Amino acid sequence: MKKLFTNLIFLVISTLCFAQGTVVDIIVNSPDHNTLEAAVIAAELADDLSGDGPFTVFAPTDDAFAALPEGTVETLLMDPTGDLANILLYHVLGANVLSTDLSDGQTATTLFGEDVTVSVNADGVFINDAQVIVADLQADNGVVHVIDAVLLPEVDEPNGTARVQVIHNAEFETVQILANGEVFVPFLANKMVTPYVDVPAGVDITLELDPTNFWSMANSVSTTARFESGKTYQIVASGTFDESDAFPVRVDVFEGALETTNDNEVALQFFHGSYDAPEVDIVVGGSPLFDDVAYGSFGSAFISVPSNNTYRLQVTPSGDNDNVILEYDLYMDWWKGNTATIYASGSFEEGTFTPWVALSKGGAYPLFPVGDARGEMVRSYRMATQAMINTEDLSVYPNPAKYQTNVSFELQRSSDVFISIINSQGAVVNQKNMMGLSKGMYNEVLDLSSFENGMYFIQLTTDNTRKVSPLILID
């Protein structure tokens, strides 16, 4: 507060002593309006508000924006020329209105088209519920009044949100994902998967996959999508970032995804992301579970199956289910009540074809062919611990991981907690002990820099339960 007061005094003195230019210049030169400056620029209003005017701007401080519910500013920046621009215009009058022109009960129409109400009482001057804390910062094209809260217009209900999961199956770049120019996912390595997250519905969102490896010469790839409120989607990037390749990066969107299912089931989906593999069927027990799936395509829908079985997935050419190319065992009782998407990855011709399992809460792990020792060890460990496994309130992210991962969990009561890292042979290779934790939510960062790549399990043990989640370490 002392710093804010000092900055505002400096701003007032500067206004009295020096020419301020436009109302935008006052905002840009203020040390307490960085968020407002960024918002005005993102909403493409800087040029308009630098015009002849006159304008009266009610300017919320950085602290005012910080007081908004968490994620509000980030969500607005995803639709900068829509909702964000409208809210900013609600802070602007198309006239030069000094403090001496304000009176109690007065209303004024903003450039957004809705009115604000002035209140004058013993506590000060208020615009709606925001107090004017510095008045009459005069510019060549108007005046700025500093306020301590963001003005939010009474508008129709927003378009709502949709739920989206991103599966990064495009070789081999690590990417940053931007949504309408703003960071949506800061870091996503090849084969990594996000949890489902909220995105604005009813607006066009341009998603850009921007390679981040410092040695990379690959160009970014973008696609524009519009999501419907209340629906759930998956977005999968496949192909390669090698522009000389015959399989450039493509982005496919599936509407109708699921995050959860019945308590004793797991819901499965299949995506064909192996760019040079033929159209396939995924067969279980002699019958196609997913039929005629070509590269860049999903199965027709999520399919819920009992979670307490081991399913032998057979990959066959489309329409030729007697010709089994590869077989994989899928056991997911530890993931019951949730959903997973099996996505084919790699090159069929080069022998790198591998199905991965994308988990609805984020993270993924590979399936190994039947007979592969790694697959047998993973399956044996899971079957041995199935009675103890429950990941309902255990989250491991990012997963796959490179150098570190976060283990988030909730305690329903006080307990000692032990977090173990277990390799695919079932050996504990690291353990973190936390004694006497109270009831609540916790997040622990695990350093993975000393471990070799491969399949691991994160085991969380409390006084009365044990929870296990797979973890993949990659280059």
Mean pLDDT of 95-120: 93
Architecture of domain 372-475: Sandwich (2.60)
Among residues 414, 270, 282, 407, the alpha carbon closest in space to that of 345 is found at 270
CB-neighbour burial class of residue 34 (10 A; exposed 0-12, middle 13-18, buried 19+): middle
CB-neighbour burial class of residue 377 (10 A; exposed 0-12, middle 13-18, buried 19+): middle
Strand ordering across the sheet containing 115-121: 92-93, 55-60, 142-147, 130-139, 124-127, 115-121, 107-109
CB 359 within 8 A of CB 368: no
Query: What is the rounded CA–CA span in Å between residue 458 and residue 461?
Result: 10
Among residues 74, 43, 34, the alpha carbon closest in space to that of 178 is found at 74
User: What are 63-77's pLDDT values in tens digits?
Assistant: 999 998 887 888 888
Q: Residue 426's pLDDT is what?
A: 57
Structure token pair of residue 391: 């990941």
User: What are 392-424's pLDDT values in tens digits?
Assistant: 467 888 877 888 899 988 888 888 899 988 775
Helices H / strands E in the chain, number of each: 8, 31
CB 179 within 8 A of CB 186: no
Mean pLDDT of 152-167: 82
Mean pLDDT is lowest, of 370-379, 428-437, 454-463, for 370-379
Task: Considering the chain, tell me which residue range(s) the CATH 2.60.40.1930 domain(s) occupy.
Answer: 372-475
Whether pLDDT at 461 is above 60:
yes
Structure token pair of residue 359: 């988990």
Mean pLDDT of 263-274: 96
What topology is assigned to 2-147 in CATH? FAS1 domain (2.30.180)
Mean pLDDT of 261-265: 93
Structure token pair of residue 151: 């003005």
| Residue 57 or residue 470, greater confidence | 57
Tell me the torsion sign for CA atoms 67, 71, 77, 81: negative
- Percent of the chain predicted with pLDDT > 70: 89
C-alpha 36: how far from chain center: 24
Phi-psi region of 153 (alpha: psi -120 to 50; beta: other; left: phi over 0): beta
CB 304 within 8 A of CB 265: yes
Task: Considering the chain, tell me which residue range(s) the CATH 2.30.180.10 domain(s) occupy.
Answer: 2-147
Residue 187: strand, helix, or coil: strand
User: What are 21-43's pLDDT values in tens digits?
Assistant: 899 999 999 999 999 999 999 99
